[in-house]
């Protein structure tokens, strides 16, 4: 073999993968240096979906931030809503009614389900398993139908408000969830059979993109990607918020931290999220969904139209915005990709001075070069799928 | 197109026009230029429930050279803009552009330093579908409207040439 | 809460001269330190037993233009300890005239992109960072958009008209 290579002019090839590439279901560019098919170097270029989230938030009132948070991780918009609302509530130092907490948990977990279904479905599609994609898109459709019944929008929900919710659950929500989950479980089992022991899928996923737990922590991994390395860190368990500590559920962890473990962790989280929703629906109490404080939460429309006091409150909240005290807080919830933290700074005025999002996939994406170096170019696809880069969240 | 050269100003031309347009409108080959949130809805539109295939626009071609309908799905930032123009110029004529979602139509509520205020400042757009994101039904409606538009085109409408914005 | 106080106390014992101020608002422990000591403080927080802040969760900058006098910027670090399940916020004021701070990439490799983003958005130079360049915006972009004096609609298109 050495004789053949003598005098042969070989060189590294530089290849642009993206930013508009069918397999990178987000806009990201990999600048690859290749030795044959082996990746020697990789530079990840992000920012193609930078939409100025923070600048827009700083120029709106505290309530006007919600639509922008929807479009961070657009697969699981409600989790972002919850994270931001709870951050502002922490800044204000208020507590919300019990029923509101339950509804927030239920809707967050349905959003998480939709996110995981999309992620696995898209990953399967890109690895050639088209049937699994169709099944999971159908399940996601069921989840979105549930959310549509709650808030009127399929994807970008804008459902949570500071100190409450946009509106209550529909009266037949329990039956709807039961029906949707029965169908989802059956489709989930089909996909499980199609993928989990599928030889092609296993070969593409197993031992690819592995990372050790020490390295994952140094890179700032959170969420399913960290748990697949065997670290059971979940914000819902570590710093329980809402009612997560009252429910019975488990944190699945992996062993090797490779793509297949990430896939398995997500598949198991789907089961756990369904359990959370069912338990929360069983224990949901009656009562108000909004706090009774006209300086923070808009009064009900009926009163606004009929009473002077409420009209003034409504007018003041809308025009001036709520006014949290001077200070700064950091609050994290468990997003679908990991720790979704909000860092808010207030100067006591109607607009945030700073509204920073700690995006989980931003930290994970920067480990892409580490995970793909030395592997084959085809291994980039499953690795990239399993870190679940969401452009809106990563680039903000 | 060579047909118009061969036939010249013949009376048969209008009929042939119709046949060609009929064929064109039911066989769109998409290039989904997916950037943002609307891409999630696009997956639904192409998925089993809404099934874009019914309208003959099922098969996404991920090479612009093979596609004739460019769907711009999602926000176009200024960093992305040169790529959009480049991909548009790479597509072979006849080609159509569908602006999917309010960000692509007008920039939406991202009126800031990072976002292009509507892709029509960069490339010609045939049909706008507003909504954030638009519901799948709206997309299907938009596609049918585009089909109607295609049915009324004349051969002399083509070629339209490269994007008026200077390429990079 | 008692354990959270430990972090501030330990820092006060170890670095009496570097701490400018410390407070705890809504349970968030915050320590404001001199920017020269950021690497040492972070190393202590990471390696010291009993503190073990092994996660660098977030790094960002706040611009206090028109809110207070110099120093204009504050680099904000959020650290988290997996072992003890506690968090701390470290802040280092940076003035506009000397817009730089030491990089902590030697402690957490994950700080790489966060520092690049802070540079991109606020123009803070991280000394010792191996590859400080724009990350979210393009290299032709002039200025730093999240500074308070940058206009919201200050578009700098690469191609096409300005609006």
pLDDT tens digits for range C89-108: 999 999 888 888 999 988 88
Task: For residues C132 and C112, give the distance between their C-alpha atoms in angstroms, rounded to a whole number.
Answer: 9
Residue in the structure block whose two tokens are 């005025």: A349
The answer, yes or no, to whether residue B28 has pLDDT greater than 80, is: yes
- What's the CATH code of the domain at C16? 3.30.460.80
Per CB-CB distance under 8 Å, the chain A contacts of B49 are: 137-138, 141
The answer, yes or no, to whether residue B12 has pLDDT greater than 60, is: no
The tally of domains found in chain C comes to 1
pLDDT band at A313 (very low <50, low <70, confident <90, very high): confident
Residue B141 lies in a domain: yes
pLDDT band at B3 (very low <50, low <70, confident <90, very high): low
Per CB-CB distance under 8 Å, the chain B contacts of C158 are: 78-79, 81-82, 168
Residue B83 lies in a domain: yes
Q: What is the complex's ipTM, to 2 decimals?
A: 0.90
- pLDDT confidence of residue C16: 82
What is the 3-state secondary structure of chain A?
CHHHHCCCCCCCEEEEECCCCCCCCCCCEEEEEEECCEEEEEEEECCCCCCCHHHHHHCCCCHHHHHHHHCCCHHHHHHHHHHHHHHHHHHHCCCCCHHHHHHHHHHHHHHHHHHHHHHHHHHHHHCCCHHHHHHHHHHHHHHHHHHHHHHCCCCCCCCEECCEECCCCCCCHHHHHHHHHHHHHHHHHHHHHHHCCCHHHHHHHCCCCCCCHHHHHHHCCCCHHHHCCCCCCCHHHHCCCCCHHHCCCCCCCCCCCCHHHHHHHHHHHHHHHHHHHHHHHHHCCCCCCCCCCCCCCCCCHHHHHHCHHHHHHHHHHHHHCCCCCCEEEEEEEECCCCEEEEEEEECCCCCCCEEEEECHHHHHHCCHHHHHCCCEHHHHHHHHHHHCCCHHHHHC
Residue C42 lies in a domain: yes
The answer, yes or no, to whether residue A24 has pLDDT greater than 80, is: no
All structural domains of chain A with their residue ranges: 45-395
Average pLDDT of span C52-76: 87
- Establish, for the pair of chains A and C, how many residue pairs have beta carbons separated by less than 8 Å: 90
The answer, yes or no, to whether residue A182 has pLDDT greater than 90, is: yes
pLDDT band at A116 (very low <50, low <70, confident <90, very high): very high
Mind listing the pLDDT tens digit for each residue in A200-258?
889 888 888 889 988 899 998 998 999 999 898 999 988 888 889 898 999 999 888 88
Q: Which residues pair with A41 in a beta bridge?
A: A33
pLDDT band at A290 (very low <50, low <70, confident <90, very high): confident
pLDDT band at B7 (very low <50, low <70, confident <90, very high): low
- pLDDT confidence of residue A288: 87
Task: For residues C15 and C22, give the distance between their C-alpha atoms in angstroms, rounded to a whole number.
Answer: 12
- Which residues numbered 122-151 in C keep a CB inside 8 Å of some CB on B? 137-138, 145, 150-151
- pLDDT confidence of residue B59: 77
pLDDT band at B167 (very low <50, low <70, confident <90, very high): low
**Dihedral pair phi/psi, residue A243, rounded to 5°:** -120, 25
- pLDDT confidence of residue C35: 87
The answer, yes or no, to whether residue A4 has pLDDT greater than 80, is: no
Could you give the percent of chain A with pLDDT greater than 90? 26
The tally of domains found in chain B comes to 1
Residue B5 lies in a domain: no
pTM of the model: 0.89
- pLDDT confidence of residue B86: 87
Residue C30 lies in a domain: yes
- What's the CATH code of the domain at B52? 3.40.50.12280
Range of the domain at C25: 6-127
Per CB-CB distance under 8 Å, the chain A contacts of C85 are: 238-239
Mind listing the pLDDT tens digit for each residue in A32-44?
998 888 888 899 9
What is the separation of C-alpha B25 from the centre of its chain, rounded to a whole number of angstroms?
12
What is the separation of C-alpha A367 from the centre of its chain, rounded to a whole number of angstroms?
18
Given the candidates 3.40.50.300, 1.10.645.10, 1.20.210.10, 3.40.630.190, the CATH classification of the domain at A45-395 is: 1.10.645.10
Residue B42 lies in a domain: yes
The answer, yes or no, to whether residue B19 has pLDDT greater than 90, is: no
Distance of residue A134 Cα from the nearest chain B Cα, in angstroms = 6
Residue C119 lies in a domain: yes
Average pLDDT of span A283-300: 83
C160/B81 CB distance under 8 A: yes
Residue B75 lies in a domain: yes
Range of the domain at B106: 29-152
Sequence-distant contacts of A267-275: CB under 8 A, at least 24 apart: A267/A116, A267/A120, A267/A192, A267/A196, A269/A112, A269/A116, A269/A224, A270/A113, A270/A116, A270/A117, A270/A188, A273/A109, A273/A110, A273/A112, A273/A113, A273/A116, A274/A109, A274/A113, A274/A181, A274/A184, A274/A185, A275/A247, A275/A248, A275/A249
Residue C106 lies in a domain: yes
The answer, yes or no, to whether residue C41 has pLDDT greater than 60, is: yes
pLDDT band at B16 (very low <50, low <70, confident <90, very high): confident
Give residue ranges of B with CB < 8 Å to any A CB.
33-37, 39-41, 43-44, 47-49, 60, 62, 74-75, 77, 79-80, 83, 87, 109-110, 112-115, 132-133, 135
- pLDDT confidence of residue B156: 80
Average pLDDT of span A276-303: 85
- pLDDT confidence of residue A2: 60
- pLDDT confidence of residue C2: 39
CB burial string A275-294: b at 16+ within 10 A, e below: ebbbbbbeebeeeebbbeeb
């Amino acid at each position: 073999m050495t004789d053949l290579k003598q005098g042969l002019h070989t060189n590294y090839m530089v290849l642009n993968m993206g930013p508009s590439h069918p397999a990178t279901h987000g806009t990201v560019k990999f600048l690859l240096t290749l030795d044959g098919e082996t990746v020697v170097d990789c530079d990840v270029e992000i920012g193609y979906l930078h939409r100025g989230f923070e600048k827009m938030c700083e120029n709106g009132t505290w309530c006007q931030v919600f639509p922008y948070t929807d479009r961070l991780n657009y697969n699981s918009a409600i989790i972002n809503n919850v994270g931001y609302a709870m951050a502002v509530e922490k800044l204000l130092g208020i507590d919300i009614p019990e029923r509101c907490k339950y509804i927030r948990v239920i809707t967050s977990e349905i959003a998480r389900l939709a996110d995981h279904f999309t992620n696995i479905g898209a990953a399967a599609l890109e690895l050639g398993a088209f049937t699994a994609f169709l099944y999971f898109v159908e399940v996601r459709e069921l989840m979105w139908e549930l959310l549509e019944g709650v808030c009127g929008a399929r994807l970008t929900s804008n459902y949570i408000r500071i100190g409450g919710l946009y509106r209550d659950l529909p009266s037949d929500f329990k039956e709807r969830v039961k029906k949707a989950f029965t169908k989802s479980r059956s489709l989930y089992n089909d996909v499980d059979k199609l993928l989990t022991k599928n030889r092609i899928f296993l070969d593409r996923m197993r031992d690819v993109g592995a990372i050790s737990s020490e390295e994952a922590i140094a890179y700032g991994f959170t969420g399913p990607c960290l748990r697949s390395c065997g670290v059971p860190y979940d914000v819902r368990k570590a710093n329980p918020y809402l009612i997560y500590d009252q429910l019975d559920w488990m944190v699945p962890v992996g062993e090797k931290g490779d793509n297949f473990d990430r896939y398995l962790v997500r598949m198991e989280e789907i089961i756990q999220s369904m359990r959370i929703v069912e338990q929360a629906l069983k224990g949901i109490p009656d009562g108000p969904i909004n706090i009774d404080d006209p300086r923070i939460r808009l009064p009900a429309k009926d009163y606004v139209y009929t009473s002077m006091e409420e009209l003034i409150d409504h007018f003041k909240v809308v025009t001036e915005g709520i006014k949290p005290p001077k200070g700064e807080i950091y609050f994290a919830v468990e997003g679908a990709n990991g720790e979704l933290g909000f860092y808010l700074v207030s100067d006591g005025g109607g607009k945030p001075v700073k509204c920073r999002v700690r995006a989980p996939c931003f930290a994970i994406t920067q480990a892409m070069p580490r995970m793909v170096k030395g592997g084959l170019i085809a291994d980039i696809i499953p690795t990239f799928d399993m870190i679940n880069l969401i452009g809106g969240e990563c680039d903000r | 197109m060579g047909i118009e050269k061969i036939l010249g100003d013949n009376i048969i031309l209008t009929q042939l026009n119709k046949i060609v347009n009929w064929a064109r409108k039911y066989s769109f080959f998409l290039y989904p230029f997916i950037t943002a949130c609307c891409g999630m809805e696009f997956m639904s539109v192409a998925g089993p429930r809404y099934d874009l295939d019914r309208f003959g626009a099922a098969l996404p071609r991920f090479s612009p050279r093979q596609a004739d309908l460019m769907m711009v799905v999602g926000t176009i930032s200024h960093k992305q803009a040169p790529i959009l123009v480049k991909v548009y110029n790479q597509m072979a004529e006849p080609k159509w552009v569908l602006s999917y979602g309010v960000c692509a139509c007008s920039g939406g509520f991202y009126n800031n330093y990072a976002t292009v205020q509507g892709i029509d400042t960069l490339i010609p757009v045939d049909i706008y579908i507003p909504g954030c994101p638009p519901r799948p039904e709206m997309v299907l409606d938009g596609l049918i409207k585009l089909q109607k538009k295609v049915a009324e085109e004349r051969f002399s409408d083509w070629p339209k040439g490269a994007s008026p914005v200077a390429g990079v | 809460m008692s354990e959270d106080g430990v972090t501030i106390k330990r820092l006060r014992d170890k670095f009496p001269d570097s701490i400018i101020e410390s407070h705890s608002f809504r349970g968030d422990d915050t320590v404001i330190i001199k920017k020269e000591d950021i690497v040492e403080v972070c190393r202590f927080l990471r390696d010291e037993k009993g503190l073990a802040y092994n996660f660098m969760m977030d790094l960002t900058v706040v611009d206090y233009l028109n809110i207070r006098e110099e120093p204009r910027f504050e680099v904000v670090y959020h650290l988290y300890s997996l072992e003890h399940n506690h968090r701390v916020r470290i802040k280092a004021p940076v003035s506009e005239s000397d817009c730089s701070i030491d990089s902590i990439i030697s402690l957490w490799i994950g700080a790489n992109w966060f520092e690049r983003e802070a540079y991109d958005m606020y123009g803070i130079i991280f000394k010792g960072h191996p590859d400080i360049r724009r990350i979210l915006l393009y290299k032709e972009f002039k200025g730093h958009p999240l500074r308070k004096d940058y206009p919201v609609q200050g578009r700098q298109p690469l191609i096409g008209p300005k609006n």
